[in-house]
Amino acid sequence: MTDKGISLAVIKRLPRYYRYLGELLENDVVRISSKELSEKMQVTASQIRQDLNNFGGFGQQGYGYNVEYLYTEIGKILGLDRKYNIIIIGAGNLGQALANYTDFERRGFKIKAIFDINPRLIGLSIRGIEVRMMDELEEYVKKEEVHIAVLTIPKTKAPKVAQDLVSWGIKAIWNFAPVDLNLPKEIKVENVHLAESLMRLSYDLKTMQENEENQETGL
């Protein structure tokens, strides 16, 4: 089954479905109706049915959806039935935090190596993975099979490091630096812009405060 032509909006919703189904599975729920799932996920039952119809429906009239089957199928669509080798560039707090997320490994994302320029971090062991020096990076990437490089380095360094990684064969980058990497279209980049996320919250807070102020002044 290919999933060509599925809208990006639907694809973006899949990880959330996957997360909810995983919880249902952990709680030994065998089947669920679109109505029950919609109540849990705060999404309309019709949206759920429409979304899942893109992938062959899965459900059966009167039965609902088999949780394990749906979980597995969505997992395949998300590529989670495959294994991915990940390297982390930047062994500061954020890099170490990501290295310690055991959740990733459960889903097939194995952190194979961590790199840094700081000599004091070299040799530090994070969940059994030793921090290596940046000058070992090129050889490592060319020799080993690396699917995803995670950038947890300063924004001044990230674009150049990303370019190098791509020139050595990396096809996918998970970027935490607050800068656009400007890589060729075929390189898959997922940006996590933490400051932008926080700014959305400040916008919401400010709107809330302004509404309160307007109410007080009787506007």
- Would you tell me which residues interact with a copy of itself (CB under 8 A)? 2-3, 11-12, 14-16, 18-19, 42, 77-80, 82, 84, 92-94, 96-98, 100-101, 103-104, 107-109, 147-148, 171-172, 174, 178, 180, 186, 188, 190, 192-210
Between 92 and 169, whose beta carbon lies closer to a copy of itself?
Answer: 92
Compute the least distance from the CB of residue 202 to a copy of itself, in Å: 4
Q: What is the DSSP string of 149-202?
A: EEE-S-TTTHHHHHHHHHHTT--EEEE-SSS-----TTSEEEE--HHHHHHHHH
Between 69 and 203, whose beta carbon lies closer to a copy of itself?
Answer: 203
Lateral strand order in the sheet of 129-133 = 125-126, 129-133, 109-116, 84-89, 148-151, 172-175, 188-191
Distance CA 115, CA 152 (A): 10
Compute the least distance from the CB of residue 42 to a copy of itself, in Å: 8
Between 19 and 136, whose beta carbon lies closer to a copy of itself?
Answer: 19
Mapped onto helix, strand or coil, the DSSP state of residue 127 is coil
Between 104 and 140, whose beta carbon lies closer to a copy of itself?
Answer: 104
